[in-house]
């Protein structure tokens, strides 16, 4: 980095830090085997993720009052199960499936890379996930966060400015002292527009065969790394 170093690095989580698609497909395939259910679980997971952005956008546009991601996930899941004739699953199973987002597994480089970065920088998630989800995930996978920024702290979803600027305010830093790390160019563009620094890490298999974008940086972000360990190296950590 040629510019002044930030004091804090905050990380997009779904896709950037954790591999939601493989984690959920793996858990659900195993669940289907145990339960004797013949379901296209990959298709269900892809449809579930496809419902993610539209469900947040309804909140962002004010068509729905503030609703934490756990509840948006559950509403989408219920609809998708119903469409597949699975509405009769036990409530405890539905709740367990929905909490799969709390148990997502990190990409292999995430924990070692973030652990290195923590030696030098404040590290935390800045996620559309809610605090409870992010805390459970961190405990489940030993993500070494210093602080947890979930969307429910701000009652806003990214890319609303209140999220990025809320982090700077709570850390009592200028926006330029905070770097967003993400695998998504759009997230970084929103952060850069507000004065944050930006770090890109590609996750070319996030969406599996459905991936259409974010194979590479589409702007000259402040840092472009191969993965989180490479990011630590580039950031001098």
End-to-end CA, the chain: 12
Smallest gap from residue 118 Cβ to its own copies (A):
8
HSE-up (13 A, CA, CB side) for residue 184? 17
Span interacting with its own copies, options 54-62, 167-175, 210-218, 227-235, rule CB under 8 A: 167-175
- In the list 16, 55, 130, 177, the residue contacting its own copies (rule: CB under 8 A) is 130
Report how many residues bind its own copies under the rule CB under 8 A: 19
**Token code pair at residue 160:** 């609303």
- In the list 131, 176, 194, 217, the residue contacting its own copies (rule: CB under 8 A) is 131
Smallest gap from residue 33 Cβ to its own copies (A):
29
Nearest residue (CB) to its own copies, 51 versus 173 = 173
**Token code pair at residue 188:** 């970084």
Between CA 66 and CA 157 the distance in angstroms is: 9
**Token code pair at residue 116:** 């290195």
- In the list 59, 138, 225, 231, the residue contacting its own copies (rule: CB under 8 A) is 138
**What phi-psi label fits residue 172: left (phi over 0), alpha (psi between -120 and 50 degrees) or beta?**
left
- CA dihedral for 69, 204, 176, 144, sign (positive or negative): positive
Strand partners, 149: 126
Nearest residue (CB) to its own copies, 25 versus 175 = 175
Assign 3-class secondary structure to 127-169. Answer: ECCCHHHHHHHHHHHCCCCCCCEEHHHHCCCCCCHHHHHHHHH
Smallest gap from residue 228 Cβ to its own copies (A):
19
- Residues of span 69-128 touching its own copies by CB under 8 A: 70, 122
Q: How far is CA 108 from CA 10, 59, 104, 111, 225, in A?
A: 18, 33, 12, 7, 15
If one asks whether residue 178 binds its own copies (CB under 8 A), the answer comes out as: no
If one asks whether residue 65 binds its own copies (CB under 8 A), the answer comes out as: no
If one asks whether residue 223 binds its own copies (CB under 8 A), the answer comes out as: no
Smallest gap from residue 181 Cβ to its own copies (A):
17
Nearest residue (CB) to its own copies, 28 versus 133 = 133
If one asks whether residue 150 binds its own copies (CB under 8 A), the answer comes out as: yes
List residues near its own copies by CB under 8 A. 68, 70, 122, 130-132, 135, 138-139, 146-148, 150, 152-153, 170-173
């Amino acid at each position: 980095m040629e510019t002044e170093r930030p004091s804090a690095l905050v990380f997009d989580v779904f896709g950037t830090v954790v591999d939601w698609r493989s984690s959920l497909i793996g858990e659900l395939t195993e669940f289907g085997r145990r339960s004797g259910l013949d379901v296209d679980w990959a298709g269900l997971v892809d449809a579930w993720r496809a419902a993610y952005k539209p469900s947040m956008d309804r909140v962002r546009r004010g068509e729905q009052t503030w609703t934490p991601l756990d509840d948006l996930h559950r509403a989408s899941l219920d609809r998708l199960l119903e469409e597949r004739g699975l509405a009769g699953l036990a409530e405890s199973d539905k709740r367990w499936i929905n909490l799969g987002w709390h148990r997502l597994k990190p990409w292999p480089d995430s924990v070692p890379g973030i652990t290195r970065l923590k030696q030098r920088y404040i590290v935390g998630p800045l996620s559309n996930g809610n605090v409870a989800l992010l805390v459970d995930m961190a405990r489940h996978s030993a993500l070494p966060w210093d602080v947890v920024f979930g969307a429910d702290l701000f009652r806003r979803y990214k890319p609303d400015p209140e999220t990025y600027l809320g982090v700077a305010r709570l850390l009592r830093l200028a926006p330029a002292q905070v770097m967003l790390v993400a695998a998504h160019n759009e997230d970084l563009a929103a952060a850069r527009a507000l004065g944050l620094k930006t770090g890109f890490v590609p996750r070319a298999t996030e969406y599996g065969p459905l991936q259409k974008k974010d194979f590479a940086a589409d702007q000259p972000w402040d840092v472009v790394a191969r993965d989180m360990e490479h990011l630590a190296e580039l950031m001098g950590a």
